[in-house]
């Protein structure tokens, strides 16, 4: 009998598929459906730091940006913090799979004290999604990265539930950042977040939002780093995110060493039953290969387990594909 159980952040998940933080997880009924179709856990849609700060009347600091302030006020009215706490409680009552709360933040300030309320509400873990665009040319990368470390350090003192950091993909040295977070108590990393991006409408001559959904080919950057991190920092758990659209991508991420994968765009596109389709593929593949459980093959093709690790290191087309015409 094939077992799909996996361990992520010290939690036992009945399958390695986690439904990513997004509007997909905005109702307990939908989350029940994901559970029925085999999801191992869900990450609730994010509570934004701005929402938390609004509760303590700090929104004025954003008042330089009129549009942002208007948006935040609207957003805050619609989604106050207490609603989020109540939502965690409702979802916890409705499902038995782990429920991971999510905070989207830009600083290491006051919002942190709120983390204990998330824990008290019953969340099984907290995913922290830090993102700010570095728009200050005189601030160093180190200064920006310090925010991540401060958040991890403070959370370690405030809460006992496991914490995962959902990281962007643009660090100069992701390994250093991940190691620093692990040292400060982080149990896991989500590699990688996919941010909202602008595009240009060359006919209408304006900036427009780019497509919000990923493509299957987007897994490759994630795949490289999952393969490297799982070997070089094995003490931290990895949830692979961005571009995981089907069963094959799920198998690839597990072979690269992920403890779980997060799926968002593919569920938006194909509906919740897609979770079951992906798990069926995984089960059939495991049966074909004679694997009884995930740990029989997890990480078998990571940076440390392949005969030629340079496959993970190659990055210059010029050097390796110069004969390709
Ligand atoms: C409509 C939409 C809303 C999202 N909202 C959040 C959010 O609130 N918090 C968060 O951390 N990520 C959010 N994300 C990012 C997803 O969780 C995920 O990291 C990203 O879409 C990449 O995964 P995918 O390739 O499976 O789509 C959102 C994505 C989409 C498409």
Q: What is the C-alpha to C-alpha distance for residues 188 and 239, in angstroms, rounded to an integer?
A: 7
- Residue boundaries of the structural domains of the chain: 6-320
Our answer on whether the CB atom of 222 is closer than 6 Å to any ligand 1 atom is no
Q: What is the C-alpha to C-alpha distance for residues 226 and 299, in angstroms, rounded to an integer?
A: 9
Number of C-beta neighbours around residue 155 at 10 A: 23
Please state whether the peptide bond connecting residue 177 to the residue before it is cis, i.e. omega within 30 degrees of 0. no
Write the class of the CATH domain 6-320. alpha beta
Q: From atom 4 of ligand 1, which residue's Cα is the shortest distance away?
A: 22
The Cα-based distances of 204 to 191, 200, 208, 250 in angstroms read 35, 9, 10, 39
Q: What is the C-alpha to C-alpha distance for residues 56 and 54, in angstroms, rounded to an integer?
A: 5
pLDDT at 253: 98
pLDDT at 125: 98
Cα 112 to middle of ligand 1, angstroms: 22
Q: Helices then strands (H, E): number in the chain?
A: 13, 13
pLDDT at 63: 47
Cα 194 to middle of ligand 1, angstroms: 7
Cα 20 to middle of ligand 1, angstroms: 6
Our answer on whether the CB atom of 20 is closer than 6 Å to any ligand 1 atom is yes
| One pLDDT digit (tens) per residue for the chain, 325 residues | 889 999 999 999 999 999 999 999 999 999 999 999 999 999 999 988 777 766 555 545 544 555 555 555 555 544 578 899 999 999 999 999 999 999 998 888 878 888 999 999 999 999 999 887 888 999 999 999 999 999 999 999 999 999 999 999 989 999 999 999 999 999 999 999 998 889 999 999 999 988 889 999 999 999 999 999 999 999 999 999 999 999 999 999 999 999 999 999 999 999 999 999 999 999 999 999 999 999 999 999 999 999 888 888 876 665 555 666 6
Q: Is 304 left (phi over 0), alpha (psi -120 to 50) or beta?
A: alpha
Cα 72 to middle of ligand 1, angstroms: 19
Upper half-sphere CA count for residue 60 (Cβ side, 13 Å): 3
Q: Which helix (H) or strand (E) holds 249?
A: helix 247-256
Q: Does the CA dihedral 317-321-324-325 come out positive or negative?
A: positive
Q: From atom 27 of ligand 1, which residue's Cα is the shortest distance away?
A: 265
Residue 107, SS3 per DSSP: coil
């Amino acid at each position: 009998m094939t077992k799909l159980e996996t361990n992520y952040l010290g939690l036992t998940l009945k399958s390695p598929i986690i439904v990513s933080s997004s509007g997909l997880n905005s109702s307990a009924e939908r989350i029940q459906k994901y559970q029925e179709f085999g999801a191992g856990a869900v990450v609730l849609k994010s509570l934004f730091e701005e929402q938390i700060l609004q509760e303590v009347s700090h929104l004025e600091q954003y008042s330089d940006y009129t549009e942002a302030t208007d948006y935040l006020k609207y957003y805050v009215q619609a989604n106050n913090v207490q609603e989020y706490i109540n939502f965690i409680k409702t979802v916890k009552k409705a499902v038995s799979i782990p429920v991971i709360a999510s905070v989207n933040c830009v600083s290491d300030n006051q919002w942190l004290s709120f983390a204990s309320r998330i824990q008290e509400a019953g969340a099984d873990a907290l995913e922290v999604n830090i993102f700010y665009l570095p728009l200050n040319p005189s601030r160093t990368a180190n200064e920006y990265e310090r925010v991540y470390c401060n958040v991890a350090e403070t959370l370690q003192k405030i809460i006992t539930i496991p914490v995962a950091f959902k990281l962007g993909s643009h660090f100069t040295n992701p390994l250093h950042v991940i190691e620093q977070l692990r040292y400060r108590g982080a149990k896991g990393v989500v590699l990688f977040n996919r941010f909202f991006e602008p595009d240009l409408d060359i006919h209408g001559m304006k900036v427009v939002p780019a497509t919000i959904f990923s493509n299957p080919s987007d897994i490759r950057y994630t795949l490289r780093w999952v393969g490297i991190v799982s070997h070089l920092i094995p003490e931290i758990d990895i949830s692979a995110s961005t571009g995981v659209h089907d069963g094959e991508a799920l198998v690839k991420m597990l072979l690269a060493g992920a403890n779980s994968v997060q799926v968002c765009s593919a569920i938006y596109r194909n509906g919740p039953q897609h979770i079951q389709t992906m798990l069926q593929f995984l089960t059939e593949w495991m049966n074909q290969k004679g694997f009884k459980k995930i740990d029989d093959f997890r990480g078998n093709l990571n940076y440390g387990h392949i005969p030629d690790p340079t496959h993970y290191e190659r990055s210059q087309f010029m050097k390796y594909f110069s004969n390709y015409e």
